[in-house]
Chains A and B, each alone.
Chain A
Amino acid sequence: MRRYLKFTYAALVYAFLYLPLVVMVVYSFNASRFSMQWKGFTLHWYDALIHDASLIQAALHSLTIAAVSATVACFIGTVTALAIHRWRFVGRKAIHAVLFVMMMSPDIVIGISLLVLFIALSLPLGFWTLLMAHVTLCMPFVAITVHGRLQGFDPHVVEAARDLGAGELEVWRHIMLPMTMPAVLAGWFMSFTLSLDDVIIAFFTTGPTFEVLPLRIYSMVRLGLKPEINALCAAMILITAVAVVTTQWLLKEQK
């Protein structure tokens, strides 16, 4: 009895989480433009997406920003994680605390504070400002993931390598790097999805010269249900799902 109750409850929560997404994906294949009635299967809306040049442009902008900011965030985040793991210095605990606070900060607070910074430095809003904003958003996630991985290290491995005559460089090349790599890659995919997901920070930190996909969706969505938007959103979900499955797989590999 209890088992069935648990099973039903979990099934209900999953239904709540997935029903809207499934309905949206199904309707992205619906031939009818204006109604919720099913009028047959079509790929027309996907075809329309591919031929919308400005939409493709926005999608390319989004993917570029996601890939570049993930790479930069990974570099800074990994260096930070290694520094607070290996070295003892003044401000080490403070860095850790700041990373945590940055991770918890609401997007809108990050967005407007960076907007104020960019305006104060009189930087024109566009690619570079959005890139800096997304690196700021993603870097703490990378640093915390990599740091967590480093904490799980067996320190004896390094000691053993030292005893066997490995120098600092060899320890890095043959031990630290291979062992942190899965966490760094997971951090990269995490940053990539974070950047693709973000609406609020991009809303404040990019300009009309550099439109990204979530902002494009935001301006389309305010007009209500449209099959093209369904198709676009379905494509976004697919990209996210692939990135998430890859991240999980990478994080599992290391255990």
Chain B
Amino acid sequence: MKDSRFFRRLVVTAILAWMALFAFGPNLLVLLASFGRASGTTFVEPGFSLHNYLRLLEPAYGRIMLSSLWLAGGVTLICLVCGYPFAAILARTRAPWRNALLLLVVIPFWTNSLVRTYAMIAILNANGIVNRLLLAMGLIDAPLPMMYSSGAVLAGLVYALLPFMVLPLYAALERLDQRYVEAARDLGATPARTFARVIVPLTMPGIVSGCMLVFLPALGMFYVPDVLGGAKGMLLGNFIRDQFLTSRNWPFGSAASVAMTLVMGLMLLLYWKSNVRLSRREWI
């Protein structure tokens, strides 16, 4: 008995130590670095000032933050609006088909998103599929310049991240108890009202986690603007990367990363609240 208690303590200590080193440690260091100053020799000169954060709010940098948030918000909204009905259709499909259809969403979900972004070039190119189709249909006379624009980055991010919205939505919609929907209909609610007052609240955790899985990467995937061109200075991810690799201003980059972590914290809080609200409702 004594041995097993020792074993238990050993294992728990090891897990906690691992987490302290690889989960807390690095983030704590970034937080500390964000209060310091840039230094040529040691990357970071320790200190305590908020000047990096104040600098983030200066118009030149504030604009990057805002445009990145704006773009990520647009990507999230498009993914949600397109993904919700799609996930609902998947959740209602009968069993043997459903697994196959789901697998077809899971494969792009796990495929390297750099590879998938690269595949978008052949679609958006001047002589790519979309332009050739439009030319053949006679809708346009000359190829549209779709690459190297913020539209291309938006399309690339939606393409890369759509599966990350669909899967959590699917999980929530599949778990949705159809009897609630039937009850609402029986009590005379219109389909729109049933959707807004019953289906959406019951699938809220799925909606929030889908939005989180799309919004946060959409802030950081710096290779999408690199590959599709355009919107060069628009993503927070590109900004952080440049601060770390080209400008060598680690404290400033760290401050931007802390800002991103705060956004994540806010979204996690939303997720937690939506879960709590749901489980409370189940007890009533």
- CA separation between A36 and B132, bound complex, in Å? 11
Which residues of chain B have C-beta atoms less than 8 A from A221's C-beta? 114, 118, 223, 226-227
Instruction: Report the interface size class on chain B.
Output: 35 or more
Which residues of chain A have C-beta atoms less than 8 A from B85's C-beta? 9
Interface size of A by CB at 8 A reads 72
Is the C-beta of B230 less than 8 angstroms from some C-beta in chain A? no
**Taking the nearest CB of chain B, how far is it from the CB of A162, in angstroms?**
15
Question: Which of these, A83, A104, A119, A168, contacts B212 with CB under 8 Å?
Answer: A104
- CA separation between A80 and B14, bound complex, in Å? 10
Which residues of chain B have C-beta atoms less than 8 A from A17's C-beta? 104-105, 108, 159, 162-163
Is the C-beta of A120 less than 8 angstroms from some C-beta in chain B? yes
Query: A9-B86, A13-B86, A113-B30 are contacts. A196–B112 as well, Cβ < 8 Å?
Result: yes
Is the C-beta of B237 less than 8 angstroms from some C-beta in chain A? yes
Which residues of chain B have C-beta atoms less than 8 A from A20's C-beta? 116, 119-120, 122-123, 159
- CA separation between A137 and B15, bound complex, in Å? 15
Which residues of chain B have C-beta atoms less than 8 A from A245's C-beta? 103
Query: A36-B127, A102-B23, A199-B112 are contacts. A23–B15 as well, Cβ < 8 Å?
Result: no
A109 touches B257 (CB 8 A): yes
Which residues of chain B have C-beta atoms less than 8 A from A240's C-beta? 107, 110-112
- CA separation between A242 and B216, bound complex, in Å? 28
Query: A112-B257, A113-B29 are contacts. A197–B113 as well, Cβ < 8 Å?
Result: yes
B115 touches A233 (CB 8 A): yes
**Taking the nearest CB of chain A, how far is it from the CB of B87, in angstroms?**
10
Is the C-beta of B90 less than 8 angstroms from some C-beta in chain A? yes
Which residues of chain A have C-beta atoms less than 8 A from B118's C-beta? 24, 217, 221, 229, 233
| Chain B positions 238-284 with a Cβ under 8 Å from a chain A Cβ | 240-241, 244, 250, 253-254, 257, 260-261, 264, 268
Which residues of chain B have C-beta atoms less than 8 A from A109's C-beta? 27, 30, 220, 257, 260-261, 264
Query: A21-B119, A87-B8, A104-B264 are contacts. A13–B129 as well, Cβ < 8 Å?
Result: no
Q: Which A residues are within 8 Å of any B CB, using their own CB?
A: 6, 9-10, 13-14, 16-21, 23-24, 27, 35-36, 76, 79-80, 83, 87, 89, 91, 95, 98, 101-102, 104-110, 112-117, 119-120, 132, 135-136, 168, 193-194, 196-197, 199-200, 203-204, 214, 217-218, 221-222, 224-225, 229, 233, 236-237, 240-241, 243-245, 248, 252
